[in-house]
Amino acid sequence: MLDSIKKIFANTEEDRRPAGAKPDISREKSSVLFEKAKKYFPGGVNSPVRAFKSVYGTPLFIEKGDGCFLWDVDGNQFIDFCCSWGPLILGHNHSKIKEAVTIALEKGLSFGAPTALENELAELILKHNKYIERLRFVSSGTEAVMSAIRLARGYTKRDKIIKFEGCYHGHSDALLVKAGSGLVTFGETSSLGVPKAFANETIVVGLNDKEALSKAFEDFKGEIAAVIIEGVPANNGLLLQSKEYIQFLREITQTHGSLLIFDEVITGFRLGFEGAAAYYGIQPDILTYGKIIGGGMPVGAYGASAELMSYISPDGGVYQAGTLSGNPVAMAAGIAQLTELSKAGFYKDLNKKTEEFVTAIQRYVSAKNYKVTLFHVASIFWIAFTDQEQIQTACAIDPKSIEKYKILHRELLNRGVYLGPSGYEVGFVSAAHTKIELEKAKRAIFESLDVVFS
């Protein structure tokens, strides 16, 4: 057992290649592992987008991460803009998080009973977030959203929910109705195995379409429990909405006695400590968190006013539970990460760095007349192969343009830059991306775009 673990970490420094190496990177060891994995897991993976179906080559098996760098098992080094899909806003292997986790795990991994660590993380969040009064920890974003929907239904005594085309909210049945991300990549609009009766309770409308939403509220008068939207839709490209539209969602839900749910699994602690709610200055009824909140450990949460949260068991009649909820090691990681994020100037520096990075790339593609637009908000960016200045809906994305991303992805890997393995995925800049690395990444992106358009 120990031998097999030792073997995983057997790479020496010489096995690793510096970032920026250009010939096709070796994926020898990754390929062997992938072939083996296919015997164990459907598609060889434990989450579909990891299978690299939308880009070239074998998925890279990762050996370790540090700061803004990743190393795969073949020893290739990358500047990482995937950041585990968003959680790692401080970069990989952050010393403070490692220390906190180490202290916690010395005491045991799980008790199934309350710990002071849960209070600590809750206090840290609630003290700095005026949009929620109570919260409940769960173990993933999916779970947080699923529970938020149940709360909305339990509170309003209504069954139907409205979601938007191009928003992803995890893989619970009610929300696997024309979801984005991996699903769009696979060219599917929903999943097998979701009962039709469930899907019937979910109404899907286009983003930025006031008429469609008004019509949905008229068609199902008195039946809509909630409208759910991503803080900023970032799972199917980056579909930046106007504040005015979000304000419209706030008003129409209020008019019809429905709740407004912000799914802040990406935007929470990313757009700022208070996420999208503070970014717009709009108070939703329920907020969901995930990704960053656990510092790289599996944590999710949902929160609302004290009144709404009193509907959750054991106080109220909306049942929700979790064997590993509030896990002490995960709480410790969350506390360490959020403590760093709550420090003055954290987001200002990170966002400024991202702005400069994105602006430089935009300047380059404009000078070269490449059909590329970079969309960004805070430390999230999306490289889109379009000359449209705005993309606000899923259907405004030309699926053919995504083909170009495959080349960009391969060329970037060959130059030591790791982006998410699909053109619909956004990139994340972390506090660990230094000016030097961002400069290197920029040059790699310029060269790779030259190849894409050559």
Ligand X SMILES: *Cc1c(COP(=O)(O)O)cnc(C)c1O
* Alpha-helical segments (H) within 260-327: 275-280, 306-309
180 contributes a contact to ligand X by CB under 6 A: no
Among 169, 256, 406, 433, binds ligand X (CB under 6 A): 169
Nearer Cβ to ligand X (147/448): 147
Nearer Cβ to ligand X (19/179): 179
Distances (CA, A) of 340 to 92, 300, 336, 391: 14, 19, 7, 33
- The tokens 């039946």 sit on which residue? 223
Q: Which helix (H) or strand (E) holds 222?
A: none
Nearer Cβ to ligand X (141/296): 141
Region binding ligand X by CB under 6 A among candidate stretches 165-173, 185-193, 315-323, 379-387: 165-173
Please identify which of the residues 29, 163, 178, 291 carries the catalytic annotation.
Answer: 291
**Bridge partner residues of 72 (DSSP):** 62
Among 63, 230, 274, 285, binds ligand X (CB under 6 A): 230
Closest CA to 429 of 383, 382, 381, 384: 381
Q: Map the footprint of ligand X across residues 18-47, applying CB under 6 A.
A: none
Q: In terms of residues, how long is the chain?
A: 454
Find out whether 86 and 270 touch, Cβ atoms under 8 Å. yes
Among 63, 263, 285, 437, binds ligand X (CB under 6 A): 263
Residues 6+ apart with CB under 8 A from 117: 104, 326, 328, 331, 332, 335
Catalytic (active site) residue 353: no
Catalytic (active site) residue 53: no
168 contributes a contact to ligand X by CB under 6 A: yes
Region binding ligand X by CB under 6 A among candidate stretches 214-222, 263-271, 274-282, 327-335: 263-271
Catalytic (active site) residue 404: no
Please identify which of the residues 131, 155, 168, 418 carries the catalytic annotation.
Answer: 168
Distances (CA, A) of 195 to 177, 179, 397: 11, 15, 29
292 contributes a contact to ligand X by CB under 6 A: no
Please identify which of the residues 263, 285, 353, 424 carries the catalytic annotation.
Answer: 263
Distances (CA, A) of 287 to 84, 144, 236, 283, 302: 22, 9, 20, 9, 6
With CB atoms as reference, the residue minimizing the distance to ligand X is 141
Pattern 116-155, ligand X, x by CB under 6 A: ------------------------xxx--x----------
Tokens of 305: 């006013």
Shortest distance in whole angstroms from residue 28 CB to ligand X = 30
Among 30, 76, 208, 235, binds ligand X (CB under 6 A): 235
Among 265, 377, 408, 432, binds ligand X (CB under 6 A): 265
Query: If DSSP codes are grouped into helix, strand and coil, which group holds residue 378?
Result: coil
422 contributes a contact to ligand X by CB under 6 A: no
Give dist(CA 149, CA 170) in Å, integer.
12
266 contributes a contact to ligand X by CB under 6 A: yes
Backbone angles phi, psi at 40, to 5 degrees: -100, -35
Residues in touch with ligand X (CB under 6 A): 140-142, 145, 168-170, 230, 235, 263, 265-266, 290, 300
Residues labelled as active-site residues:
168, 263, 291
